[in-house]
Structure formats: structure tokens, C-alpha cells
Structure 1
Amino acid sequence: MTSRASNRSALAQGFAPFSYSGAKHAINFGYGLPDPVMFTELAWPDAFNRDTGVASADLPQYTDALGLPELRTKLAGRYGVRDDQVILTGGASQALQLIADAWIDPGDIVLTEDPCYLGALRTFSIVGANILQLGMCAEGVDLNELEAMLRSHTRVKLFYTTPAFHNPTGRQMSRTHMARVAALLDHYGVALVQDLVYAELPYNGTVDWLAPGGNVINIHSVSKVAGPGLRVGWVLAESNIINRLARLKCDGGVSPIVSNIVLALLQSGAIDAHIARLRQHYRAKRDILHTLLLFSRFCEPEYVVPSGGFSFWVRLAAGLEVETFIEAARREHAVHLINGRNYGPRSGDHVRLCFSYLPTSLIEQGLARLGTLHAT
């Protein structure tokens, strides 16, 4: 007989485990995965590349809790911060877990928008946070609603958002709006966590995001621009915050071998050239899905055309029963969708349509199959 599971383990039972293998065997619009076709377009360096400046003996070894020093220095220069404002993590997911561990006790409040990235909702839920989701306007979170929440709740610890091509809505939030959010949060002693994993993938122009510092904590990752299998992310924040996160790490540091690959990509400029190709590639896919949606009857025509990122956020057509539609898509056509209510309680009439992973032929097939369901 096994002992009783922990509260965190019990809470985790409400979330399905991530299954990439399952995603490969269906037309899955729910997962925002990079296109594997583009992995071969990147000039991958030798993992034991000796030209990076990292000693050969340091590569198979443990490394610092803060991460490989040479990579931290390179990232600090890239983002205009000091080395002591950078910590490497096992992808953006570990960054979120560390931040949750550093700020949240059971019953504490995390604020975010409705809808919100599923992975963040999962992470904060499992540590016992009370997640309150706020309405959005065209610019981002509703500032009046945010201030009302901050005035009326004393246990708010964090506000989490994805301002650069918001997941799942695809909205781009201006630096001006996010500066107002940060200032309001700072007045109440609350941290702003900006998840910027899509920030390198604007399809028109550039993105100007709010820099780290003060109460602003930024999360980045190579998952969307190189490969999620590398499992390398980083947090940029004030040095005291970085030190707090480092003390919560229980591993032997992010793999120096993998970190050396990322370092070599940055030093050679290969990653920046690759990002330019990715922008063109994903913009073309976005345009294809947008064209198909213009002639689709299963969703309403009023949606935001994302200017970056991996997905559309669409409202299902009036008269469609969401759960019935999603189940029929899965059972009859092997098309996988995620009910919008999983992203937030106000979002039950929406679905996320990710275009990044699927080849064009499957995007077209998937939309056609969803169209037949609406017709019946």
C-alpha cells in the first residue's frame, strides 16, 4: 500500500501530462510546438566546441546553480544587463517553477489575464496559488480591474503575462502599457513576470519589451527559436532576485554541454540568422491559416491576426456547443482542440489554433474537417 500523495501531487492530477508523441499522430491545433522542418535549417555547432572559451574539462562536469558563466556573460551583453542579473534554467518551464517556489505559499494570489498560457496556470496551481484572471482590452490587461484587485486583496504576490504575442490570444502589448502595469504593481509591492519566449518572432518590424529591473522579471528561452529539446531558458532580474532563485535550484545546474551549444550559436551569429528565417517561415504559415479562416464557418470572423507567435485565438460560431464540437473533432476526424475554458473561466467559447508545428497540408485538412462538423 502506498502512502498518501502530497497536496501538490493531488493538485497535479487535474492536469494531463504533456505528450509530444501523441501530438505526432493527429492534427493537433492545441500545442504550440516549433516546426521540426526548421531544425535542419540551423547550423548546429559541436556540443564540445572548444572555440567558445569554455574549458573542455568543464563541459561534462556539474556547473554553477546560476548556469555556465560564459553563457551568462554572453546573454548579459545581449540584453544589456549585468552578469549577476542572469540565471540559466531548464527551459522557461523551470524558470516559472522557481519563481513560483520563490514567491508563492498556498493561498497566495497570482494575477493574470483571462485567457492565460496553460503551462503557467498549471505551475501556479500546483504550488497552491489562488489564480485570479482579469479581463483584457486591446492593449492588454484591464488596468481598472487590475487596480481594483490589488486594492481588495492583500495576498497578491505576482502578475504573470506574455506581452510579446500573448499566449493564447496573439496580442502584442505595448511597452507603454506594460510600464503602466509595472508601476501599478510596484505601488502595491507586487512582482511583474513577463514571459517573453515568443519575443524573437515578430512578423512585422520589431518588439520593444519592458526591460528587467525593479519589480520586473523577464523569462526567455531558446525553445521557440532553436529547439525545445535543448531545455535552456534564462531569467533576467535584479541580482537579489536571481540569488533567491539560485538557492531554490536543486539540480547540478543546466547542462554545460547543452549550454555550450547555445553559446556557440550566439557567438557565431547563427541563431540570429536562423531567427530571420523563422520569421518568414511562420509568417507564411500564419497567412495561410488566416486565409483559410476567412472562409471558415465554424468560427466568428472577428479575431486578432497575430503579429508574431504561434497561434490564433478564435471564438466558435454561435450555435455550436463547444464540448460537443471538440469531442466530435477528436473522435471523428482526429483533430485535437483545447477547450478555451481551460485558459480561463471567461474563455469557454474560444479555441486556440496553433499553426507552427503542422505542415500546410495538415492545416488545410484540419480546417476542412472542422468545417464539415459545422455543416452537420
Structure 2
Amino acid sequence: MQYAFSDNVSSLQPSAIREILKFTSMPGVISFAAGNPASEAFPVDHIRQISADLLQKDPLLALQYNITEGYPKLRELLKKRMEAQQCFDPLADDLITTSGAQQANELACKVLLNRGDTMLCESPSFIGSLNAFRSYGVNLVGVPMEQDGMDLNALEEALRTSRNPKLIYVIPNFQNPTGRVMSLEKRKGLYELACRYNVVILEDNPYGDLRFAGTPVPSIKSMDTEHRVIYSGTFSKILAPGLRVGYVSAPAEIISKITVCKQVSDVHSNIWAQAVCAQFLEETDMDAYLEGLREVYRHKCELMIGGMRQHFSKKIRWEEPEGGLFIWCTLPEDCDMPAFCKRAVSEYKIAVVPGNAFLVDETQPSSSIRLNFSTPPDDQIVKGIRILGDMTREMLDN
């Protein structure tokens, strides 16, 4: 039978990262391609204890249907925590839990954009969100990044010339894939442009709690005097991604529409997982817990960068992140980056992600690759970076 797929999905392609991850099942492959949290950071014993208590004392809570907006106890805890972080205005905002931040970002696009409307995003940007946005047939416009975030001059030009711009998508903290942090000046400038051109900002912050160097920068949401910022967060990077618990803080009118869309999508997110997150928040000194996580990622990042300094060709440049999970490397312009990535995994058994995978138009050239330091154990970081370094010197220093 010949299948006729919908316009929304017919042009979608498999995630380049997922395709590369297929190679990681090959014997001996060391993967720097994933974006998973460090396995040693999972609070396994605490989650086991919470789960056992929940199923012993209140099994129906975990096993029965609940409300779409999310487990009420978790929502209240999140509202208080986010209000303290100036990411929730109790007089104007509401909050809904989602199946990870991925669903939060997808639903924000779904409720605000019609097919053909323009969404602007950083270039490069997170491939998972880009594919979600593409699935709604929006006009996706990439805005070049500078070291401290979006090029605001290019953003304004895109806002001025694009067809019906409605939403700006940004990852201000330890951006995926570059690891960059948007400066306070850029955040203020971005918000001013959103007000001037009457568009909404989708602020995606999955990595903000993982700052292990430098000084925190106020969120864009904290500047939101006109109620035009949607803020998405997640437990995936600070607790466990398998729980699939995310959340959205946004003006109440937007949350009401997201709620309706979520009802027809999955009814509600996993209640057992939400109850685990709620109990974890209630029982844990989060400041101390997060500092422990930061130490894990600080160590792993320093280990990878130390190896890169020792083994990589001097022709490769990289950016040292202040947090998050990724290091963005740039090869010489005359280097064939896709061929580099294919050779790395096929001959050297090292998986990395090609930079063009994060572009709005993946056919555009890129000379960058993304490395992940959080997923591999320490011994694989040391070994893999040495092997990759040997490859870079062989290819680039001759």
C-alpha cells in the first residue's frame, strides 16, 4: 500500500542525534553524542524509598487518573520555588506539569502559532525542539548567535521582515548545543524587542541549575512586566529524565489553552513520577543537593577539557562552558565536518554530533561538533578524548 502522510509530518526527518546513537550500540564505541545526565548523579536510593512509601501508603494516588494540570502538591511546590526565583507571578501566571520540557515547548508552539506563522530561534539550537516546531508547519527562522547569545540586530531584522512573527525560542543558560550563556544585556534587549514587535518569548531552561562556574544571570521571565514570557523547566537534568516530568510557567490565559491541548494529547503526565518529584522537593535540601550535582559536572567537564588541551590539534577551537552538559568545538573551515564525524565513529569508534544537526536548515554548512561530557564514565572520557585527539592531529596537522 502507498501511504499518504499528513503535511505536518511528511517532511520530518529522523533526529541526527538518534541516528548517531545507533552506532553507540556497536561494541567498543565511546559516545560523546548523547545528552544524558551522569548516571552517578541519580539519587537512586532516595527515589526507591519514595516510591516504596508511595505504593505502600497511597497506591491509588500513583495508579489512578488525576487532573491534566498536574499533581496539585507538586504544582504548589513548584509555584513557591519558582516565585522565589522570580519565574512565577502569582497574580498573573499559572503552571502546568508536562511530560518533560519537550512537551512544554511543543505545546507552547501549538497554542500560539498557525501554519505559516514565524517562530524565531537561535542558530544553532536544540534539535528536539526544532523538530517539534517543524511538525506544526511553522516558518522557522534561525537567528545567528554571538558569544553572549542571539545577535539582536539580526533578530530585529528577522522580526521586521518575517511573515507574521509570533514566538521567539531561546535557551539562555548553557545553550544546547553551544553551552553559551545569554548575557544580561542581551536578555534585556531581547525582551525589549519582543515588546516592540508584540511577540511572545519561550524561555527554555533545562540546564540552569547546573551552573558550576561564573555568576548566575536573571531569567528573562523575571523581567516580564507585560506577561509575554513562557518559561519551561524540567526535572530531567536534576533528578532523572526517565520520570518525564517538566513544567511550564506562563500567563494564566496561555496555560488554560495548553491544558486543553494536553488533555487531547495524553490526558495528564505520569502521576507516580510527579508524586516522586513532589516528595523529593519536600524532603530535600535542594541547595545542597544541586551543589552536589554541580560538583559532578564540574569534575567531568574539567576532565574532558584537560584531555582536549593535551591531545587535540591546536587547529581546533572550543568554548569552555560555565555549566550544562556540552562543549562546542569548531574545526578549521576547510575541514569536511560531516566526514570527520563519520570517520570518528566508523574508524575510531568515537561518536560526536555534527553541528549542522542543530541548524534550522541542516543542509547549510557547519564546521562545528558537539561533545557531551556528562554521559560517559570518567575512564571513557579520558580514553575517548585521547583517541579523538589522535584523530584530529592525524587529519589536521599533516
Which deviates the most, 31-40 or 240-249? 31-40
Structure 1 residues 73 and 28 mapped into 2: Cα distance closer, same or farther (>3 Å)? same
Which deviates the most, 289-298 or 62-71? 289-298
Aligned equivalents of 2:365 and 2:207: distance in 1? 22
Number of matched pairs? 374
Paired AA for residue 295 in structure 1: Q
Residues 135-284 of structure 1 aligned to structure 2 (within 5 Å)? 135-204=144-213, 205-211=215-221, 213=224, 214-249=227-262, 250=264, 251-269=266-284, 271-284=286-299
1:330 partnered with 2:345:
yes
Paired AA for residue 360 in structure 1: D
RMSD value over aligned CA atoms? Answer: 2.4
Deviation at 1:175, TM superposition (A): 3.5
Contact 1:226 1:271 in 2 (8 A): no
Paired AA for residue 221 in structure 2: A
Aligned equivalents of 1:194 and 1:252: distance in 2? 24
1:359 partnered with 2:377:
yes
Tell me the secondary structure at the aligned position of residue 237 of structure 1. Answer: strand
- In structure 1, the gaps of 5 or more residues are none
1:309 partnered with 2:319:
no
- In structure 2, the gaps of 5 or more residues are none
Contact 1:298 1:370 in 2 (8 A): no
Give me the identity figure in percent: 28
User: TM-score, normalised on structure 2?
Assistant: 0.87
Structure-1 residue corresponding to 2:79: 76
Structure 1 residues 173 and 359 mapped into 2: Cα distance closer, same or farther (>3 Å)? same
Structure 1 residues 217 and 140 mapped into 2: Cα distance closer, same or farther (>3 Å)? same
Aligned equivalents of 2:25 and 2:375: distance in 1? 10
User: TM-score, normalised on structure 1?
Assistant: 0.92
Deviations 1:2-23, CA, capped at 9 Å, x for gaps: 5411123312235358477764
Paired AA for residue 332 in structure 2: A
Which deviates the most, 256-265 or 299-308? 299-308
Structure-2 residue corresponding to 1:6: 6
Structure 1 residues 231 and 299 mapped into 2: Cα distance closer, same or farther (>3 Å)? farther
Aligned equivalents of 2:271 and 2:334: distance in 1? 54
Contact 1:112 1:159 in 2 (8 A): yes
Residues 89-104 of structure 1 aligned to structure 2 (within 5 Å)? 89-104=98-113
Structure 1 residues 147 and 263 mapped into 2: Cα distance closer, same or farther (>3 Å)? same
Tell me the secondary structure at the aligned position of residue 12 of structure 1. Answer: coil
- Give the one of 387, 390, 395 matched to 1:369: 387
Aligned equivalents of 2:109 and 2:314: distance in 1? 36
Contact 1:199 1:207 in 2 (8 A): no
Aligned equivalents of 2:39 and 2:62: distance in 1? 27
Tell me the secondary structure at the aligned position of residue 361 of structure 1. Answer: helix
1:289 partnered with 2:304:
yes
Structure 1 residues 329 and 95 mapped into 2: Cα distance closer, same or farther (>3 Å)? same
Contact 2:32 2:372 in 1 (8 A): yes
Deviation at 1:367, TM superposition (A): 1.7
Which deviates the most, 204-213 or 348-357? 204-213
Contact 1:298 1:317 in 2 (8 A): no
1:66 partnered with 2:69:
yes
